[in-house]
Structure 1
């Protein structure tokens, strides 16, 4: 069984378990993906913030549930390892875009988080060039996503003018700051892991060329 650099187990590519598609965790991930355009429309169209918050809360719950069910039901799959982080990133990107348009968060904060994802996309392309699959999601990345997905509905609530908004606003920004820090930290760890693999691959290639 392959082991990643953090020590976690990875599903073996090509195995029956890895190739499964019709699983409960995958269904939840697809449901989360379908909620992204709905959330963005609620946020920017009718600005139905309460319904948008409900969509975010459901997304946060299913983000936890699909991972828990995958382990509980032994339904880990290659598709699931792609769908879960894809749904996370789409929700984060959609929310950052919508919040920036509505001036709930500054544009520079959105740019920092999006810039991290662009760097990781370039690193992922480099990994594939050397024959590596995407690395498993680090627990810090999951913690960052947890903080951000919980910060977003609180930021919406804190965008108002009432007493509740005033109470929630500092809590929302605490989640946002912690989530952003962890998001950048996990991205840095991902880059370091990738560089180690790439350097090892280059070293092996040199040995083959110059035995």
Structure 2
């Protein structure tokens, strides 16, 4: 219950501004991918991954954990993941099955959130497995983009990119299972 007591209704916080910046970078990244400006796209993805970590750390250290931040941060993560996957799949960098596997998880959890809300519950707390999966995916994508380079850098990026991607998918779904189990427990209690 301690975490719930420290969540504020504040809107204007440093972590929220960072998450908003990440959301604003999603269309910029989409344009960079679509126009094959891969160097800049990698830089934006790396920046997004670093600021994803930073906004969480700052929220806790500055005592600025907020309800808005709890919505903005995962929204930015999911949008970056979906836009990146679509862009990379359209360019043939990643197979379409990877997009389907990750979107299926988002659909399942989206339905879960709707059911929870209907019964008076908010989203369940984020698990470390979910954060780790997101981290791995956000670092896999720039590496897979770098894998397009015809050099030793590309070859090395391909190996590490796919390692991050596959572990990320596994952790992403593992966390999804944890969220579903958590939702099941919540639905057995009165809201």
Q: TM-score range by the shorter chain?
A: over 0.9
Unmatched 5+ stretches in structure 2? none
After TM superposition, list the pairs within 5 Å mapping 1:90-109 onto structure 2: 90-109=79-98
Cα deviation, residue 200, structure 1: 2.7
Question: Comparing both chains, which one has the higher relative contact order based on Cα–Cα distances under 8 Å and sequence gaps of 6 or more?
Answer: 2
| Aligned twin of 1:49 | 38
**Is the 1:11–1:77 contact (alpha carbons within 8 Å) kept by the matching residues of 2?**
no
**Is the 1:11–1:76 contact (alpha carbons within 8 Å) kept by the matching residues of 2?**
no
Q: 1:10 aligns with which of 4, 20, 32?
A: 4
3-state secondary structure, aligned to 2:4: coil
**Is the 1:10–1:136 contact (alpha carbons within 8 Å) kept by the matching residues of 2?**
no
Q: CA RMSD in A?
A: 1.3
After TM superposition, list the pairs within 5 Å mapping 1:35-114 onto structure 2: 35-44=25-34, 46-114=35-103
Cα deviation, residue 175, structure 1: 0.4
Separation in 1, partners of 2:4, 2:155: 45
Separation in 2, partners of 1:36, 1:154: 18
Separation in 2, partners of 1:96, 1:31: 20
Q: Count residues with an aligned counterpart.
A: 191
Cα deviation, residue 98, structure 1: 0.4
Cα deviation, residue 199, structure 1: 2.3
Separation in 2, partners of 1:115, 1:176: 16
